Amino acid sequence: MFGMCGHDDENEEDNVSEREIEAREDGSQYSLTGVFLPSLGATALTNGSRRQQLRRHIIFPYNRNYRLWNKFLLILVFYTAWICPFEFGFLEKSKGALAVIDNVVNGFFAIDIVLTFFVAYLDKSTYLLVDDHKLIALRYAKSWLILDVIACIPYEVVRSMLPPSLQSYSYLNILRLWRLHRVSAMFARLEKDRNYSYFWVRCCKLTCVTLFSVHAAACFFYFLAGRDDPKDTWLSIVPTTINQDIWGKYVVAVYWSIVTLASVGYGDLHPRDTVQYASNFAHRNQLPARLQEQIFAHLLMRYRADIEGVQQQEIIDSLPKAIQSSIAQYLFFSLIDKVYLFHGVSNDLLFQMVTEMKAEYFPPKEDVILQNEAPTEFYIFVTGAADLIIQNNGLEQIVGEVRQGDVVGEIGVLCYRPQLFTVRTKRLSQILRLNRTTFINLTRSNVGDGTMIINNFLQHLHEIGGPIMEEILAEAEGMLARGKMDLPISLLFAASRGDDIMLNQLLKKGSDPNEPDKNGKTALHIAACKGNDHCVLVLVEHGANPNIKDLEGNSPLWEAIKGGHETVTRILIENGAEITSHDVVDFARLAIEKNNLEIVKEVIQRKGEVTECDSKLTTLLHAAVCEGNTEIVKYLIELGADIDRQDDVGLTARSLAEHQSTKDSPKSSQMIQTIKEEVTMRVTLSCPEKGEGAKKLLFLPDSIEEILHIGAKKFGCSPTKILTTEGAQIDDIDVIRDGDHLVLA
């Protein structure tokens, strides 16, 4: 069958011809395939073309037929490489067509075991073929005979003969993978064969190894998951897998195997391995039960995040910086904007911070922050809730609750002190985490925003109250006074707190005394508004401009006048603060709008002008009439304000007052009455009965009866009514205006 050789001389020529055929089959005259390298000094035939004569019934290892037989077995090895892991992972036992095919394959390998006892081998010491049956059998028995026999045993038969406790068919079946050594030997031989490209042989080998690894890992994954309750394994993550047939399950397992290989590799063949390691670690170190639960919950959360594809931080980190910023702004900007710590902060700083924040998931009952740990980060809750816990005499006490949009850990970060509370989640929570160093660096580049954050923080502590928060508030204020805060502090913040010591320290460090905020207000504006004379003195001594104006045109002097702070007003005037004629109009109008007569008096006394007008020729009296403030109108008229001065559209204070009176409001009536009381109105009185020259100019009396009485006395007649020049009868004194011509009848 395989060209067995003996001592017959008639077969010698056949052997030579066979070798020539094999040489031609190798495809190259330089190929060494099928040729034994003789030892140094070994004798050889003259023509070098004859091989060593073998005993009868001994097979030459490079016989063409025997090599074809080995190639056929390689095909069966590839089948074994696929079927063994599959049966190991997905089948309890081989049955049906698979059982028949397995036994047929086992039969072929059993035949190969028998043939191996008749195949000569090369003695490495003499480099000659050994054809002794006993030596061949001894060598085979010492090498892999036992493994070959074990791999050929029909284990489904053996399994049926064993007791239930020993029916481990899958474990025995996997021993057939021993046959893979034939594939390894084949690739090793091809790599040394010049007829084949070494590169493509290696690529083919690595491809086969990868495919086998993926297939075997998929089978092992399912084996580990399928032997336990599916609800406790990765099968519960893909619920539909449980109800699928075996091929559907195989496809799902292969998918997870490929994903695992392409992402993290096969460091863990199953997540339960990590859980087991963690469990062993916890038991070995005698960790408390609560801490063990947190460890397992964290591992489960990480695994679920991987399976469900919610590793959002890993995905975000893999994207360009611009896309990261856009995603973070879209997802979290609206939430960060509502956090108390960032109220009033510029959008620029919020945008920078939200880009640096990292999103994480925390399972229930997991500690986010531990009491007294170092303040390295603070957290913002996107979803979920948590308890604030303190330790009292070894007992835990819940002192508060954290909900969506709340921030925790900020006290430790801003005051740089150990964390006050343990923060423990109540349910699944998504949390944004910001590093302290990153936060401080961002706020240092935005001084005004840093001041706003400190203000919000102190205000929050004040609103919470309680002994603990009052202590922290006092500590924070002390740190501010000593300049120990890492956040940048502006002059405006010190002025708003009335802290002249902090102001002096900041100014000595080179702070600009005229630095404005986004509304144009300086520290001097704030100090003057609050009436803090000590802060005002410190600022003007360091060069603060007393006449600087904010975006609304307000100067520090105006702020002091408006607040009624005489001492501050005097200090500002002594240091060069002025009120211009234009300021009189602006400041007085603001005071009129606030209906504050005292401020109006203060402003006018500083400059002494009530006739000034703005660009629209509107006087203070115009403004007072429009506001309907009778007291201010009376005061301005007493100072000589012209009630008949027109603005740019021709309106006078008188006409405005008359227009206001048509509204029938008590306020309007009182105002028009005030104007009439304060202004001496003149009218012309005539009596047609005495001729055209009978006319008198007089001040308007207080009533119609007085006019009739004056007319009777002046003209010597007895009039009963008063008419206009057009003949209309006048019944009410209020309708008479200055300069009217009245006719007695």
The whole-angstrom distance between residue 494's C-alpha and the CA centroid of its chain comes to 33
pLDDT (0 to 100) of residue 241: 64
DSSP three-state, residue 729:
strand
* Residue 232 CB-density burial (10 A; 0-12 exposed, 13-18 middle, 19+ buried): exposed
The string of pLDDT tens digits covering residues 613-628 is 665 666 777 777 777 7
The string of pLDDT tens digits covering residues 36-61 is 544 444 444 333 444 557 787 888 88
CA distance linking residue 655 with residue 657, whole number of Å: 5
Q: ∠ at Cα 22 (21, 25), nearest 5°?
A: 90
Residues 6 or more apart whose CB falls under 8 angstroms from that of 675 comprise 633, 637, 643, 653, 654, 657
CA distance linking residue 354 with residue 324, whole number of Å: 10
DSSP three-state, residue 579:
coil
The string of pLDDT tens digits covering residues 701-715 is 778 888 888 888 777
> In the chain, what percentage of residues exceed pLDDT 90?
3
> What is the CB neighbour count within 10 angstroms for residue 473?
19
Asked if the model's pLDDT at residue 23 lies above 90, the reply is no
Q: ∠ at Cα 568 (565, 572), nearest 5°?
A: 135
The string of pLDDT tens digits covering residues 474-518 is 887 777 766 667 666 777 777 877 778 777 877 887 778 888 887
Does residue 313 or residue 178 have the better pLDDT? 178
Domains of the chain: 1-196 (no CATH), 198-273 (no CATH), 285-454 (2.60.120.10), 680-745 (3.10.20.230)
- pTM for the complete prediction? 0.45
Q: Please name the residue that has the structure tokens 């028949």.
A: 100
* Residue 476 CB-density burial (10 A; 0-12 exposed, 13-18 middle, 19+ buried): buried
CA distance linking residue 378 with residue 368, whole number of Å: 10
pLDDT (0 to 100) of residue 7: 43
Helices 666-678/653-661 angle, 10° precision: 140
pLDDT (0 to 100) of residue 486: 66
> What is the CB neighbour count within 10 angstroms for residue 455?
16
Which of 68-77, 161-170, 301-310, 409-418 has the largest mean confidence? 68-77
pLDDT (0 to 100) of residue 17: 39
pLDDT (0 to 100) of residue 30: 40
> How confident is the model over 381-402, as a mean pLDDT?
88
Asked if the model's pLDDT at residue 28 lies above 90, the reply is no
Average pLDDT, the chain: 76
pLDDT (0 to 100) of residue 387: 92
Amino acid at the residue 534 = H
CA distance linking residue 661 with residue 227, whole number of Å: 95
pLDDT (0 to 100) of residue 266: 55
> How confident is the model over 172-187, as a mean pLDDT?
83
Does residue 501 or residue 546 have the better pLDDT? 546
Round to the nearest angstrom and report the end-to-end CA distance of the chain: 159
| Low-confidence winner among 153-162, 319-328, 442-451 (lowest mean pLDDT) | 153-162
With cut-offs at 50, 70 and 90, classify the pLDDT of residue 18: very low
Asked if the model's pLDDT at residue 379 lies above 90, the reply is yes
Asked if the model's pLDDT at residue 273 lies above 60, the reply is no
Asked if the model's pLDDT at residue 202 lies above 80, the reply is yes
Asked if the model's pLDDT at residue 639 lies above 50, the reply is yes
pLDDT (0 to 100) of residue 385: 92
Element (H or E) spanning 424, and its range?
strand 422-425
Strands 741-744 and 682-686: parallel
pLDDT (0 to 100) of residue 612: 65
Q: What share of the chain is helix, strand, coil (3-state, %, to 5)?
A: 55, 10, 35
CA distance linking residue 564 with residue 572, whole number of Å: 13
pLDDT (0 to 100) of residue 235: 65
> How confident is the model over 323-336, as a mean pLDDT?
86
> In the chain, what percentage of residues exceed pLDDT 70?
75
Asked if the model's pLDDT at residue 3 lies above 60, the reply is no
| Low-confidence winner among 290-299, 308-317, 514-523, 551-560 (lowest mean pLDDT) | 308-317
Amino acid at the residue 89 = G
> How confident is the model over 142-155, as a mean pLDDT?
82
| DSSP, residue by residue, 212-260 | HHHHHHHHHHHHHHHTS-GGGSGGGGSGGGGGS-HHHHHHHHHHHHHHH
Element (H or E) spanning 494, and its range?
helix 491-496
> How confident is the model over 224-228, as a mean pLDDT?
71
> How confident is the model over 306-326, as a mean pLDDT?
72
Asked if the model's pLDDT at residue 531 lies above 80, the reply is yes
Asked if the model's pLDDT at residue 253 lies above 80, the reply is yes
Asked if the model's pLDDT at residue 124 lies above 90, the reply is no
pLDDT (0 to 100) of residue 380: 93
> How confident is the model over 628-657, as a mean pLDDT?
74
pLDDT (0 to 100) of residue 239: 64
Does residue 29 or residue 743 have the better pLDDT? 743
